[in-house]
Amino acid sequence: MGLAMAQNVQRFLQKDTKPQLRFWNRTPSRGTSLEKLGAIGCESVAQLVTECDLIFISTSDDAALNSILDQILAVKDIDGKLFVDTTTVHPNTTKETDEKLKNRNASFVAAPIFGATPAAQSGTVLMAMAGPSEAIDQIAPFGKGVIARDVMIVSDQPEKATLLKTLGNFIVAGAMEIVGEAHVLAEKSDLGADMLEKLLELNFGMMYSSSRRMTQGVYIPGEGQSPQSNLDLGIKDVQHGITCAKDFGARLKVAEVALDNMVRAKEFADAHGGRSLDSSSGYGIIRQDAGLDFENNFVKKRDTGKDGDSSQ
pLDDT band (50, 70, 90) for residue 310: very low
Q: Could you tell me where in the chain the CATH 1.10.1040.10 domains are found? A: 164-303
Q: Could you give phi then psi for residue 41, rounded to 5 degrees?
A: -80, 145
Query: Does pLDDT of 142 surpass 80?
Result: yes
- 273 phi and psi, to 5 degrees? 80, 15
pLDDT at 164 over 50: yes
> In whole numbers, what is the pLDDT of the chain averaged over residues?
94
What is the DSSP annotation of 219-277?
A: TSPPTTPPPSSBHHHHHHHHHHHHHHHHHTT---HHHHHHHHHHHHHHHHHHHTTT---
**Which CATH class for the 164-303 domain?**
mainly alpha
Under DSSP, the state recorded for 191 is S
Predicted confidence band at 307 (pLDDT cuts at 50, 70, 90)? low
Determine the distance from the C-alpha atom of residue 35 to the mean position of all C-alpha atoms in its chain, rounded to a whole number. Answer: 24
Residue 103 near residue 79, CB atoms below 8 Å? no
Q: How confident is the model at residue 17 (pLDDT cuts 50, 70, 90)?
A: confident
Is the predicted pLDDT of residue 167 greater than 50, yes or no? yes
User: How far is it, in rounded angstroms, from Cα 39 to Cα 54?
Assistant: 15
Q: 186-242, pLDDT tens digit by residue?
A: 999 999 999 999 999 999 988 999 999 999 999 999 988 989 899 999 999 999 999
Q: Average pLDDT in the 168-177 region?
A: 96
What's the pLDDT at 246? 97
Residues 241-279 have pLDDT tens digits of 999 999 999 999 999 999 999 999 999 999 999 989 999
Burial degree of 224 (CB within 10 A; 0-12, 13-18, 19+):
exposed
Question: How many angstroms separate the CA atoms of 312 and 304, rounded?
Answer: 17
Of the chain, the percentage scoring pLDDT greater than 70 comes to 98
What share of the chain has pLDDT > 90, as a percent? 89
pLDDT above 80 (res 309): no
Instruction: Report the alpha-carbon distance of residue 250 to residue 244 in Å, rounded.
Output: 8
User: Checking DSSP bridges between strand 107-110 and strand 82-85, what pairing results, if any?
Assistant: parallel
Please state the pTM of the whole predicted model: 0.91
- Intervals of CATH 3.40.50.720 along the chain: 1-155
Measured CA to CA in angstroms, residue 302 lies from 128, 223, 264 at distances of: 37, 10, 23
pLDDT of residue 312: 34
Under CATH, to which class is 1-155 assigned?
alpha beta
Q: Which of 160, 165, 236, 266 is catalytic?
A: 165
Task: Please enumerate in sequence order all residues whose Cβ is within 8 A of that of 191, keeping only pairs 6 or more positions apart, or say none.
Answer: 185
Q: What is the pLDDT of residues 229-240, one digit of tens each?
A: 999 999 999 999
Q: Which residues contact 223 (CB under 8 A, 6 or more apart)?
A: 275, 303
165 annotated active-site: yes
Supply the DSSP string of 78-120, one letter for each residue. -TT-EEEE-S---HHHHHHHHHHHHTTT-EEEE--EES-HHHH
Asked whether 17 and 38 are in contact (CB, 8 A), the reply is no
**DSSP-assigned states of every residue in 199-224:** HHHHH-THHHHHHHHHHTTTTSPPTT
